[in-house]
Amino acid sequence: MVQVLSMVLAGGEGERLSILTQRRAKPVVLFGGMYRVIDFVLSNIINSGFRDIGMLLQYEPDSVLKHLSFAWTMDRGIARIDTLFPKRKNESYESPADAVFKRLDYILDKNPVYVLIVPGDYVSLIDYRKIVRYHEEMEADLTIAGTMVDSSKANRFGMMKVNPSGEVTGYVEKPKGKIDTNFASMGIYVFTLDVLVRRLIEEDRTSGGSPISFTYGMLPKMLGEDRVFAYNFEGYWRDIGTIDSYFESNLELIKIMPELNLYDVRNPLRSRLRFEPPAKICEYGSVKNSIITQASLIDGHVERSIIFPHVRIDKGAEVYDSLMMPNNHIGAGTIIRRSILDTVSRQQHNDMKPNIGRDSVIGGYGDARPNIEQPDALNSSITLVGMESEIPDNTIIGRNCIVYPDVRSVDFQGRRTISDGECVHPTLHRL
């Protein structure tokens, strides 16, 4: 019998992350210079001493499988990671609860005492043993990990009311109005096995054909009928579900003493092992308050930014408050502010020609009009440059702009100024 079975919800699309999840699942979005978001989740499970992991996949599963094959080889002896798809042909997971329900066969085969259900898209260092121990002490049927959030963000979470004994007495998913609690669910659950099975079967039977749900169905029904307790997590935790939260949580790492401590040897953060040369600051290069990772060549100025592996910044280029993902090559004299540049291929990087042209400006000018196509996602002066894209020399791109994946210089059609909030698309033959 397995004591704790960890079920990781890794099939999310992450629509609010705009083009960053156009070709990858949300859990494998890059983070912190050398990691993927899912690395935090898996490292937490393993560091907690749990070894049996079921990973529920759906959206862009190849992106997750590729990362697992590089960074989490199945036979490395640390843990067993089983990738779980819907069993029936043409079937899909309609919700997190539906995903768990449709793979009850896997859970019952493992026959654990407790089932730990965790989202695959948060950034935190958590000892799950403490939550399971609390669950046992409370003799709970369900324990929900929660944390305090700013009231302005309450509409993004499930909000809980808890009595002095720790029992959950009220739950509202993404409240639209004011609510008299700041205690938010982290989407981390510990279920006692028989309760999980019974409640999922009951929810499916009474759903009337609608997708079953933890947050809108099961959890509210369990209050007052089952023993539902809240575990108060007081450490660092970030939901990176929006461009703003993703961008801010990355740049928090450049603080002298960041709240998220990636250097704690007691809780190692595992990821892909890279056999790469060290970063190099060249003759004209300078770096201030930034993270620079392997095989990067810096001959320009970098400040308050995170530079991922194999980035090249040419002489006279300046990068501020930005994320440079692998293999980008910034041409001489170009200035980049408050932007996220997604990955380009190693082949394109090795061509030596900058994919971001010379003497250009990206981000940081104009009136910061929200993005025309995605105003809810891009409205805080962050500009996105998509995967495998290039920008011609002498181009000015404003704030809240999107350069979509696979854009080439020809797609600018001679334009050298992209105003705030505008987008550049690839030509139709590449869509």
Tell me how far apart the alpha carbons of residues 8 and 82 are, in angstroms, rounded to a whole number.
Answer: 10
pLDDT at 350 over 80: no
Confidence class of residue 20 from pLDDT cuts 50, 70 and 90?
very high
Provide the residue ranges of all domains of the chain, joining segments of one domain with +. Answer: 4-254, 280-430
Axis-axis angle for helices 61-71, 37-47 (nearest 10): 50
Where does residue 247 fall: left (phi above 0), alpha (psi -120 to 50 degrees), or beta otherwise? alpha
User: Which pLDDT tens digit goes with each residue over 255-305?
Assistant: 988 999 888 888 788 887 777 899 999 999 999 999 999 999 999 999 999
Tell me how far apart the alpha carbons of residues 21 and 27 are, in angstroms, rounded to a whole number.
Answer: 9
pTM attached to this predicted model: 0.93
Tell me how far apart the alpha carbons of residues 431 and 424 are, in angstroms, rounded to a whole number.
Answer: 13
Give the position of tokens 């043409």: 90
Report the amino acid identity of residue 418. I
User: Which pLDDT tens digit goes with each residue over 26-42?
Assistant: 999 999 999 999 999 99
What pLDDT, on the 0 to 100 scale, is given for residue 359?
Answer: 97
Tell me how far apart the alpha carbons of residues 52 and 428 are, in angstroms, rounded to a whole number.
Answer: 45
**Dmax (CA) of the chain:** 69
What pLDDT, on the 0 to 100 scale, is given for residue 348?
Answer: 54
Tell me how far apart the alpha carbons of residues 209 and 225 are, in angstroms, rounded to a whole number.
Answer: 24
CATH 2.160.10.10 for domain 280-430: yes
Tell me how far apart the alpha carbons of residues 239 and 237 are, in angstroms, rounded to a whole number.
Answer: 7
What pLDDT, on the 0 to 100 scale, is given for residue 76?
Answer: 54
Domain 4-254, CATH: 3.90.550.10
What pLDDT, on the 0 to 100 scale, is given for residue 75?
Answer: 42
Strands 383-385 and 402-403: parallel
Answer for the pair 386, 421: CB distance below 8 angstroms, yes or no. Answer: no
User: Which pLDDT tens digit goes with each residue over 71-106?
Assistant: 887 545 677 899 999 888 888 999 999 999 999 999
Cβ partners under 8 Å of residue 359, min gap 6:
331, 332, 333, 334, 393, 394
pLDDT at 323 over 90: yes
What pLDDT, on the 0 to 100 scale, is given for residue 224?
Answer: 87
Answer for the pair 59, 88: CB distance below 8 angstroms, yes or no. Answer: no
**What is the C-alpha end-to-end distance of the chain, expressed in Å?**
49
Across the range 189-215, mean pLDDT stands at 94
Chain-wide mean pLDDT for the chain? 92
Tell me how far apart the alpha carbons of residues 126 and 6 are, in angstroms, rounded to a whole number.
Answer: 14
